[in-house]
Amino acid sequence: MTTGERIKCRRKELSMSAEQLAEKVSLSPATIYRYEKGDIEKVPADVLKKIAAALNSSPAYLMGWEVENKQPIPPGFQPLPKRDRIPRVGQIACGTPILAEENVEAYDEVPSDWHADFTLLCKGDSMEPKIKDGDVVAIHCQPMVENGEIAAVLIDGEATLKRVFLFDDHIELRAENPAFATIIRIGEAMNTVAIEGKAVGLCRRL
């Protein structure tokens, strides 16, 4: 089932017309129909999030990334926590949304209650000891974080993990490892930094 087919199926489950969905997400009904028919194959990440919210669903479900356990649970056993299959983002192609298909390197399964939208593979030791080289970090998409929180930040076309500190006239991106210098952007240069989401979980092999 395609993303468009899932959108249509979920809309029908809610007895919602295409016109009603279009109004909720500030799009034209024609655009909704084109998504559902597959005339527009790639739904922008920001639009997909709005559609998912309007349909009381999730981007992971609409994209077919959610993993569901449909096997019967034997008596005396607890079902495994629900998990989502989400994309792992690598090098970001210039001018493309972070979740664009060409930026996806692999897929990871994470607990659904993390509400994560994508993962990043940590390269290097700038965030040690908290996050080690080779760790996979789950990210929830949001345009802003609280000062001191670890975020996925887009700088010069590459996604990186740093602690974010935002001030009136500058932004600081601090590594966890004191051996690495703080990245500072002042004034208009702050616009070269894009916060893509908050780190919400760590996937590490023991």
Instruction: Using the predicted structure, report yes or no on whether residue 24 has a pLDDT greater than 60.
Output: yes
Is 106 found in the same domain as 61? no
More confident residue, 94 or 206: 206
Instruction: Using the predicted structure, report yes or no on whether residue 134 has a pLDDT greater than 50.
Output: yes
Q: Domain of 192? A: 86-203
Is 113 found in the same domain as 55? no
In a domain, 73, yes or no: no
Is 93 found in the same domain as 188? yes
Which residues have a catalytic role annotated? 126, 162
Q: What is the mean pLDDT of residues 110-125?
A: 88
In a domain, 75, yes or no: no
12: CATH: 1.10.260.40
More confident residue, 44 or 204: 44
CA 73/CA 171 separation, integer angstroms: 50
pLDDT at 93: 46
Q: Is the dihedral of CA 70, 75, 77, 78 positive or negative?
A: positive
In a domain, 59, yes or no: yes
Is 91 found in the same domain as 62? no
Q: What is the mean pLDDT of residues 126-131?
A: 90
Q: What is the mean pLDDT of residues 2-9?
A: 90
Three-class secondary structure of residue 165 per DSSP? strand
Is 99 found in the same domain as 23? no
Is 99 found in the same domain as 44? no
What is the distance in angstroms between the CA of the first residue and the CA of the last residue of the chain?
35
Average pLDDT, rounded, for the chain: 84
pLDDT at 181: 92
Q: What is the pLDDT of residues 46-96, one digit of tens each?
A: 888 899 989 988 888 888 775 444 555 566 665 556 788 888 887 544 445
More confident residue, 100 or 178: 178
pLDDT at 40: 85
How many structural domains compose the chain? Answer: 2
Report the phi/psi class of residue 38: left, alpha or beta, with left for phi > 0 and alpha for psi in -120 to 50: left
Is 132 found in the same domain as 30? no
Q: What is the mean pLDDT of residues 153-159?
A: 78
